A = this chain, B = another copy of it.
Amino acid sequence: MKVFRRAYLALVKYLEAAASFISDDEVESLVRTLEQVYRDGKRVFVVGVGRSGLVGRAFAMRLMHLGFSAYVVGETVTPAARAGDLLIAISGSGRSAAVVAAAEVAKSLGVKVVALTSYPDSPLSKIADMVVSIPGRTKVSHEDRWEVRQLLGLHEPLAPLGTQFELVAQVVLDSIISELMERLGIDEEDLRELHANVEV
């Protein structure tokens, strides 16, 4: 194989390098908001299109396992959002039209909006009450990216389109789950209790 193993290691290195671009303060704000929502019995909604939407779904599923009232915008049983609820909006570019539109509607309802994006100046970020910056292509320096391409010996970038953004967002959100487990005193057995047992 020409590329597989180098691509794998390059993605791991990217995830490692990304750690220093993630803000403790931003993550702490999101975690505190999630704790508050949990204790107040409010709802968490996630929204994203394409692969960012899948990252959001993976997070919503774990929140449900933790005992949150978590919903994915656009799925069947997603109810009305109310003031005091939380919307987590995921968009690398911060420009996905459907995500921006959902954030605007949520904001107008008194829902707190958190943006996970690589662009703190994007339309989505401007609507959001909080931003968690996720390093995507533009956040790790161009030199960095060039080294990565050199490492791969390719003219093509490391991985196409939003792959890096999506992977970093996934690991950030999974790590937030661990943080919430610790803070809320929830252990793996509790998660297992809520995990779907009738599945297709």
Contacts and interface: CB of A to CB of B under 8 A. Distances in A.
Please report whether the interface of chain A is mostly helix, strand, loop or mixed according to DSSP. Answer: helix
Contacts of A187: 155-156
A37 interface: no
Nearest to A47: B200
Interface string A34-64: 0000000000010101110010011011101
A3 B174 CA distance: 11
Given A73-B199, A161-B188, 19 more contacts: A4-B31, A4-B178, A5-B19, A5-B24, A8-B22, A47-B198, A49-B74, A49-B196, A49-B199, A51-B62, A54-B58, A60-B76, A71-B77, A73-B198, A79-B195, A106-B198, A109-B198, A159-B178, A161-B191
21 contacts: A1-B179, A2-B183, A4-B175, A5-B19, A8-B171, A12-B171, A15-B15, A47-B198, A49-B74, A50-B195, A64-B76, A64-B79, A70-B77, A77-B77, A99-B200, A101-B101, A152-B178, A156-B178, A158-B178, A159-B174, A161-B195
